[in-house]
Chains A and B, each alone.
Chain A
Amino acid sequence: MSDLMASDLITPDAGEPPLLSINEVSILKAAPLTRLSLRLREASLKAAGSAFGVDLPVLPLSSATADKRAALWMGPDEWTLFAPENTSQSVVSDIEGKLGAEPHSLVDVSERSEAIIVSGQRAAWLLNTGIFVDFSIDTFPVGTVSRTIFHKSPVMVWRIGDEAFVVEAWVSFMDYVSGLLVQSASELSAA
């Protein structure tokens, strides 16, 4: 896990056993995180970025990170902000304070999703058992983030390393997502 781009923010949940741990790929539950959904107009981009500590990315499917911060592009006026657990209130008040009356929407969605870290040599292959996105490194370089579908569940995939991905799903979908990933990986340990 040492080569992860955002390793200071997305970390395995120490209290949770690995969902899967084989040579080719591992699946680990990520530790809790502050997640905020930020919506605003272009005029407020700069202010929001400086309040949060990271310039909000404007390229589709891109992300921007800084110490203990990540901003993920979700749409032309939508970002998901990541910050350490228990910093929700301070991050919210920083942004609200800076934006003041500028039109925006900031909603705490920390608990809406759970994240798993899928990493290893066959991580992209494993994700492709249920996600139709092209994960080749040229097309989906490190830092790319996309909301997409895993079989029948909506998910968000964020590439944090050559062979490491964060996969988020709404909490009630996570059993389905992680369960199917583990099941699909079983052929990797076939004789």
Chain B
Amino acid sequence: MSQPFRTEKGGRINRTEQLTFTFDGEELQGHQGDTLASALLANGVHLVGRSFKYHRPRGIVTSGSEEPNALVGIYRHGDQTPNLRATQVELYQGLEAISQNRFPSLGFDVGAVNDLLSPLFPAGFYYKTFMWPKAFWDRVYEPVIRAAAGLGKPPKTPDQDTYGNIYAHCDVLIAGSGPAGLAAALAASETGAKVILCDEQSEFGGSLLSEVSASIDGKDPSEWIAETINKLEQMDNVTLLPRTTAFGYFAHNYLALAERVTEHLPNPDPKLPRERLWQVRAKEVVIASGAIERPMIFPENDRPGIMLAEAGRTYLNRYGVKVGHKVLVAAACDTAWQTAFDLADHGVEVAGIVDLRETPPENLMAIAKARGIRVEAGCMVTGTLGRKRVKAALLGRMMTSGNVASGGQISCDALLMSGGWTPTVSLYSQSRGKVVWDSDKGAYIPGASVQRERSAGASKGLYGLQEVLEDGYAAGEEAAKAAIGKSAKVSYATATGGEAGTGGTLGALPHDRNASRVKAFVDYQNDVTAKDVKLAVREGMQSIEHIKRYTTTGMATDQGRLSNMNALQIASDSLDRPVTDVGLTTFRLPYTPTTFGLFAGVARGDYFDPVRKTPSHDWVVENGGVFEDVGQWKRTWYFPKNGEDMHAAVARECKTVRESVGLFDASTLGKIEVVGPDAAEFLERLYTNPWKKLAPGRCRYGLLLNDAGFITDDGVIGRLAEDRFHVTTTTGGAPSVFATMEDYLQTEWPELDVWITSTTEQYAVAALQGPKARDVLAPFMEGVDLSADALPHMSVKEATFCGVPCRLFRISFTGELGFEINVSRRHGKMMWETLAKEIEKFGGTAYGTESMHVLRAEKGYIIVGQDTDGTVTPQDAGMSWAIGKKKADFVGKRGLDRPDLVADNRKQFVGLLTKDPKVKLEEGAQITTAENPAIGTPADGHVTSSYFSPALDRSIALAIVKNGHALEGKTLYVPMPDGSIPVEVTGPVFYDKEGARLNV
């Protein structure tokens, strides 16, 4: 038989559907319904990985998402996804899995030498060892540690899967579908409340999926599950989400769920996302996350074949897999006995039940006796033999002296252990709830609710099936009532069997071995032993938060769900303080490891961010323009012709604008329509400049400061009518200027009768700049006299362009005669193409942002955000002229009077000319007074803009320099790796200082 550990019958697998898969290249068989873990166990494979630090052989320990050891890589699309838990990987035909953290092979791993050297690697080893010499950290220690650290290998190719997202709202979200979750769903859905039921497993039912000895309403648990799910499926108000982990619980009952959509399919349709992120706002939440079993801490408790008892039961009853042919059960509680009984009923030899308790319950003893199972009471496992698979267990017997005496050894090929149960309080903890210690249960359970949630069933320490069902129904009723104010009577199902057991133990078991030589693991995944926790205490760690970080216990992917309670007890014993004094670490999201892809969602490739295009975009593409990203906008950077490089293209564009005419797309500039009787008053209060006397039809440059007095935006503002202004802002500043205006209107000046409306995208804007601009424009305009007298520099007029209404501005950002034509957006393409054709007659050119930058720099016009950095005042920028001297107030006026803003030594805006005209400075380069300043000398300023100027046939630069305005004519230095560059300080205006070219 190809699966020697498969049972004859039973389980939820589909025995008629055989699947082939590979593990480290070896071909194996399994069934539909298996997980990778159950299929491996069916084939007798326990050894599935090597441990993190000591490279010890490790096997499957659990059957759930808390699995610490069985982390595997799964191949898809020719690449592997690392660190998936074999207990969660559903088997499909052709699945390819590999083990991790071994070299050259799982069976022979050279890293295992660490295990022999382990006396050299105590807790805190890195902290103690890699302290000195200090310089070794970067070059030696860190690279070596990094190379040795980590489990699994990251994928090499880009993620070929897609990831979905869905926002959902519900009245009641139920996390977990065991008996409590299902009962809650039945009760809540009956009221008509919108219910979402999610479970991380492939099937609903939780612990009931492996329960065969109990019954509900006289039915097998599996039958009850099927009926329940069938009922829920038919209700419109219920959403069922299997394979969906509630991994994050945030404020205001906002939860994040990860749905695995295609991971379990052999050949999923590529149209389906691999995973879907559910972002759910739930009025009420029921946490039914159950409980997980605790390992027992005895020496060599990590050998392959040593598992949790309930996992052994799950593999048997749910998957039809025997974890061994001769199984020893070691326990401190009743529930593990049922596993032994179930195994015996399937004909598995039970080597014995070793119970820590002197007197286990009579009824269990009787059942064991009836099945002929050997029972050793008052006994514990003190060690195990077998390297890649457990071969035997050493037993110890507790003496009245308190010492442990050897109790011989029992051979076995699997050892199932149970130290008792730990409620899963992760989601409750994430909801900011504080757990409380229940000494009767020996567990932390949820305390008061901080958000609108309640825990139900085993997650709050209730274990008997009947009790759990009742609690689930009650939680569902209560949640629905709280959410929608309705109640409905549902008849509670009644369970027989599945009683809560007694017993349980915390911490390390006593033994008769040499404590300094043996390893009893507390945290499997991080290779933390009981010895390590004790050492941490000896070295002064008293809080679990310190012990956790010193030893790394509880820092594995299960966040300590398996290990925390044992570690706490060991620390508590070592400190001789109650366990509650040691503290408890906080559970954080994600509940289980979650893919990056899920968080990235659709934000990748073309949809990483909106790409905003202007109406000239298509024309630019056709004409070979090169784009640059300006915020979300695509703006044309330059238009290379005949193989020009950028430098040549920009030189030609600039020259053409100065000599003839250029066409520029200014559509991205922010536009805000300010309308109302108080419009001028509003602008008067907001901008530094005076506005009240600006006549309709005229424009003014506006400067906007923040309260501190620093420049935050600028733009030309045109007055269209007494009560209507057309404000322009920088491209990047548009949203913040709009928000600032709205903020002041709503909070400071609600009495003003003025409103703002964003019109950025209402208009397409073409800028015509250059001495021929008027000639180009004239044939298309009607209703306006373009002459210098009728339409002088800084004026605005409503007219038509090619018969289309437009707002025509006569303004300039180049220092040349200039017009900006605003037409409604849908005519933008027509306008651009009309003008692009027309300028050809004049030898004109379209130009991009780079030439725009050069042309304005030649004129010393600042660009907010490039020449300013949020610490530049109008005075610093040499723009005191923009401040209305007679104005009583404006935003930033008081800030400008601050002592530090009027003090000497402010950095000021200047021009720089390199002594060598061919040398172009680096933008951002530092400026110093000394030619070769000593290292550590503070800079006096930095270069903000630097270009080659075609008009001047030399390099030019703008900069902010300490006391710059007083330094005109002086020489400063720009130290660079190749030597210092001498520069002369000048005024910022390099070209047409008188402005004669503007007023033509």
Contact = CB atoms under 8 A, between A and B. Distances in A.
A41 interface: yes
Contact of A134 (B169, B602, B612, B763): B169
Given A151-B603, A183-B602, A172 B676 contact: no
A139 B825 contact: no
B762 A112 contact: yes
B167 A103 contact: no
B675 A109 contact: no
Contact of A191 (B269, B281, B614, B757): B269
Given A128-B168, A129-B166, A180 B602 contact: yes
Contact of B613 (A32, A104, A175, A189): A175
The size class of the interface chain A forms with chain B is 35 or more
A186 to B, nearest CB: 5
**Residue from A104, A105, A179, A191 whose CB has the most chain B CB atoms within 10 Å:** A105
Nearest to A113: B761
B911 to A, nearest CB: 36
Interface in A129-186: 129-134, 136, 139, 151-153, 170-173, 175-176, 179-180, 183-184, 186
Given A152-B603, A170-B761, A187-B273, A128 B612 contact: no
A125 B610 contact: no
Nearest to A172: B612
Nearest to A170: B761
B165 A176 contact: no
Contacts of B272: 187, 190
B649 interface: no
Interface residues of B, number: 44
Interface string B606-617: 110111111000
Interface in B713-768: 753-763
A104 B166 contact: no
A103 B677 contact: yes
Nearest to A104: B676
Nearest to A103: B753
Nearest to B602: A180
Contacts of B825: 111-112, 171
B164 A176 contact: no
Nearest to B167: A132
Contacts of A109: 757, 759, 762
B279 interface: yes
Contacts of A78: 755
B826 A111 contact: yes
A172 B614 contact: yes
Contacts of B826: 32, 111
A125 B166 contact: yes
A106 B167 contact: no
Contacts of B611: 175-176
Contacts of A32: 826
A39 interface: yes
Contacts of A111: 761-763, 824-826
B668 to A, nearest CB: 9
A101 B678 CA distance: 12
A37 B673 CA distance: 11
A134 B167 CA distance: 8
A103 B677 CA distance: 6
A13 interface: no
A180 B168 CA distance: 18
A130 B757 contact: no
Interface centre among B166, B678, B755, B756 (most CB of A within 10 A): B755
A39 B603 contact: no
Contacts, number: 116
A113 B826 CA distance: 11
A11 interface: no
Contacts of A190: 269, 271-272
Contacts of B454: none
B194 interface: yes
B621 to A, nearest CB: 14
A124 B931 CA distance: 67
Contacts of A106: 675
Contacts of B606: 179
Nearest to B667: A172
Which of B611, B753, B761 has the most chain A CB atoms closer than 10 A to its own CB?
B761
Contact of B602 (A107, A110, A151, A173): A151
B960 to A, nearest CB: 33
A101 to B, nearest CB: 8
A74 to B, nearest CB: 11
B675 A105 contact: yes
A190 B678 CA distance: 58
Nearest to B254: A132
A32 to B, nearest CB: 7
Contacts of B756: 105
A153 B169 CA distance: 21
Contacts of A105: 673, 675-676, 754-757
A103 B675 CA distance: 9
A180 B608 CA distance: 11
A190 B279 CA distance: 23
Given A105-B676, A183-B602, A189 B759 contact: no
Contacts of A186: 271
A92 B603 CA distance: 41
B944 to A, nearest CB: 29
A106 B272 CA distance: 47
A86 to B, nearest CB: 12
A48 B825 CA distance: 27
A138 B757 CA distance: 32
B146 to A, nearest CB: 35
Contacts of A152: 603, 609-610
Nearest to B762: A112
A94 interface: no
Given A106-B675, A190-B271, A129 B761 contact: no
A108 interface: yes
Contact of B607 (A39, A104, A132, A180): A180
A110 B673 contact: no
Given A106-B675, A139-B169, A112 B602 contact: no
B912 to A, nearest CB: 37
A107 B761 contact: no
B613 A172 contact: yes
Contacts of B168: 128
Nearest to A132: B167
Contacts of A101: 677
A153 B610 contact: yes
Nearest to B826: A111
Given A110-B824, A173-B610, A184 B164 contact: yes
A85 B978 CA distance: 64
Given A111-B762, A125-B166, A128-B167, A179 B607 contact: yes
29 contacts: A39-B757, A103-B677, A104-B675, A105-B757, A107-B757, A108-B824, A109-B757, A110-B824, A111-B763, A112-B760, A112-B761, A112-B762, A128-B167, A129-B164, A129-B167, A130-B165, A139-B169, A153-B610, A172-B610, A175-B613, A176-B607, A176-B610, A183-B602, A184-B165, A184-B602, A187-B271, A187-B273, A190-B272, A191-B269
- 4 A-B pairs with least C-beta separation: A103-B753, A39-B755, A105-B675, A172-B612
